[in-house]
Structure 1
Amino acid sequence: MARSSTRPTSRDVAHAAGVSQAAVSLVLGDKWRGRVSEATAERVRQAARALDYRPNLAARNLRLGRTRTVLLVVPALTTEFFAGVYTGAARVAAQHGFGVVLYPSPEGVGPARPSPATTEGRPVRAAQVPDPFASAQAALDGVLASSMAADALTAIRGDRLPLVMLDSDPTGSPGAATVNLDIADGIRQVADHLLGLGHRRVLHLAADVPSWTFEARARELAARLAAEPGTALHTARAPISIEGARTATEAALTAPGPRPTAIVCDDDKLAAGAYKALRRLGLRVPDDMSVTGLDDLALASALDPELTTVHLDAELFGERGMRALLAVLEGREPEGGDIPVHLVVRGSTAPPRPRPHG
């Protein structure tokens, strides 16, 4: 039979599936669970596919008072980790009929602020400076944001949009919920691995970024090493870049005093910079210096030797974050508990060389 040239309606789907229009609305709106059977839901989906039915989302959203669009705020688009977060978040959003708008906020800088603007030396009134998020509160249903981009949130969200925070202090988060990786346990695994190998002098190559997640890493590393007699911890801060890490590592390792035998890096990119510094100083990994990272990016297995690092499941992180936001939007309690992480031991760590006598 030739298909009609007119656009199929929900009534057509209901007739083809042998159900009511209300059932079609429940199934295609992903609100059918507990209200219609799985067999009925599948029958509706098959009928919709056969008819090539596409619901009028604009009309439905107008009725519901929603845009079915959420904002994901991350520090950078070029970072492999946050690309994974976006992939996981967008996958879950799509399953529930939501779209995701991605906004990069480098170093936590939000949308353009009007106060410094001038025209021919004269201040410009705030209303004259365009704000790319002026209509965000009307165009979005909610926000999912990394704590490293927290400064952008006030201008984007105001006080109205539901917010879920990633990598954020659960005791002081501005969001309705927080979703965290178990970073503290990851750092404990790193410290225990190095201590088990016999390392007692450790350099912490810390990310020079004001963020809860990096502060938590520093606290946990210091606490774990302090609990072991005879340990010494020195901290060097670096921007999250290979060259910045190289410079900071060279400065730390050429400073007066006993040289560390292991470097704990806040992420894999910092570890790559540490590798470069060690080569320039004529030191070998892991013979002269053990190095660890955190993230388990593709870079970790590209380094030579391959990097011992903590694996963080970025896509699962994004999925859990989006599920939490959808739960908040629906008035449900989000899933609790931190996401487990695990240490991947590779060739960059080994017992320290015995110190020469005399």
Structure 2
Amino acid sequence: MTTGSDETAPTRPTSRDVARAAGVSQAAVSLVLGDKWRGRVAETTAERVRTAARDLGYRPNLAARSLRLGRTRTALLVVPALTNEFFAHVYTGAARVAAQHGFGVVLYPSPDGIGPARDPFASAPAALDGVLASSMASDAVTALRGDALPLVMLDSDPERTAPGTATVNLDIADGMGQVTDHLLALGHRRFLHLASAVPSWTFDVRAHELAARTAHIPGADIRTTRSALTVEAARTAAHAALTAPGPRPTGIVCDDDKLATGAYKAARALGLRIPDDVSVTGFDDLSLATAVEPELTTVRLPAELFGERGMAALLAVLDGRTPNTTALPVELVVRGSTATPAH
């Protein structure tokens, strides 16, 4: 005997219901909702199927689909740390694109930001379809995927990645070039490069571009000091560099906004005014950039778009298509932390 609640329980719509509502075959529904319709189903038909599925509240049976396709429809995003605002935005963009294609994204931080990591699954190759990873956590990737999973690297040297590995990059070199040209145009010649101590291609690019842009400028000098990616470590490193023997730098070029915030604290502890006595630049355009006074001149990185592009590249690899690996443009945002040097 059935209960009243059984009799009134809603029936979950099926792909057959969607096909009937859209006036198409179930095969067409499968192609459209599996994002395999291009070149096989008309765009107007695909839109009709999507509208019918949305109106009916249809949700595909992902477990059955996984068994049928041999996929888990899950990707792993490996980042250096969950506390980094930039990577939070990268995840948001990646998850948005993944959801549009019926994928989920597992976010996994490499322990201590860099270095090896244990497989968070009983077997990553069995639980995942692919990996999207920051170059800052590249050591973790080897332990997680071996050679068994498709991989897209973010912010990585395309010349040094394994064969078959796609890379998606921001135009970091151009970003540092914009910073350097801005400071040179203001008249700065003595630079302190407050560099990240993390060994990573993305930071190597910044150092190389800063050196290249100043190499042929008469009187240009770069003093480099490295720091962990924390405000306190940067304050200590910048304080030591600003009190070292020799002419004091007039411009501090920082590898990211956290380092720039540490440079602010060091300058103020020494009684230096920003930008009157020393100009400071950052990289990333985090919320810190407009929280400090004066607001920070920095390079804006389109983090969410970066995540979107990375996930789109991974989906392309999974489908056997060529991913878009064109570097994403970045933008120098000039604020109050830079000015003509006093001397």
**CA–CA separation in structure 2 for the residues paired with 1:163 and 1:208:** 26
Counterpart of 2:224 in 1: which secondary structure? Answer: strand
Change (3 A) 1:348 1:94: same
Which residue of structure 2 lines up, in the alignment, with residue 54 of structure 1?
59
**CA–CA separation in structure 1 for the residues paired with 2:338 and 2:131:** 40
TM-score, normalization by structure 1: 0.90
Question: In the alignment, is the contact (CA less than 8 A) between 2:169 and 2:325 conserved in 1?
Answer: no
Structure 2 unpaired stretches of 5+: 1-6
TM-score, normalization by structure 2: 0.94
Which residue of structure 1 lines up, in the alignment, with residue 96 of structure 2?
91
Shift of 1:21: 0.7
Summarize the alignment of residues 122-201 of structure 1 with structure 2, pairs less than 5 Å apart.
Answer: 131-174=119-162, 176-201=165-190
Shift of 1:56: 1.3
Residues 41-94 of structure 1 show CA distances to partners (whole Å, capped at 9, x for unaligned) of: 232223223333222111111110001110000001111100110011111111
Match of 1:65 among 67, 70, 79: 70
Which residue of structure 1 lines up, in the alignment, with residue 3 of structure 2?
none
Change (3 A) 1:56 1:248: same
Match of 2:288 among 296, 299, 303: 299
Match of 1:74 among 69, 72, 79: 79
**CA–CA separation in structure 2 for the residues paired with 1:7 and 1:315:** 34
Q: Is the aligned partner of 1:263 residue 2:248? A: no
Q: Give the letter aligned to residue 67 of structure 1.
A: T
Shift of 1:230: 1.1
Shift of 1:3: 9.0
Which residue of structure 2 lines up, in the alignment, with residue 253 of structure 1?
242
Q: Is the aligned partner of 1:311 residue 2:317? A: no
Change (3 A) 1:39 1:3: farther
**CA–CA separation in structure 2 for the residues paired with 1:331 and 1:36:** 19
Question: In the alignment, is the contact (CA less than 8 A) between 2:284 and 2:299 conserved in 1?
Answer: yes
Count matched residues.
335
Which residue of structure 1 lines up, in the alignment, with residue 326 of structure 2?
337
Structure 1 unpaired stretches of 5+: 113-130
**CA–CA separation in structure 2 for the residues paired with 1:35 and 1:4:** 37
Identify the range of structure 1 (306-315 vs 7-16) with the bigger mean alpha-carbon deviation: 7-16
**CA–CA separation in structure 2 for the residues paired with 1:329 and 1:144:** 12
Question: In the alignment, is the contact (CA less than 8 A) between 1:86 and 1:315 conserved in 2?
Answer: yes
Q: What RMSD in Å do the two structures reach over aligned CA positions? A: 1.5
Shift of 1:8: 2.6
Summarize the alignment of residues 11-50 of structure 1 with structure 2, pairs less than 5 Å apart.
Answer: 11-50=16-55
Which residue of structure 2 lines up, in the alignment, with residue 202 of structure 1?
191
**CA–CA separation in structure 2 for the residues paired with 1:52 and 1:262:** 57
Shift of 1:7: 2.8
**CA–CA separation in structure 2 for the residues paired with 1:190 and 1:255:** 24
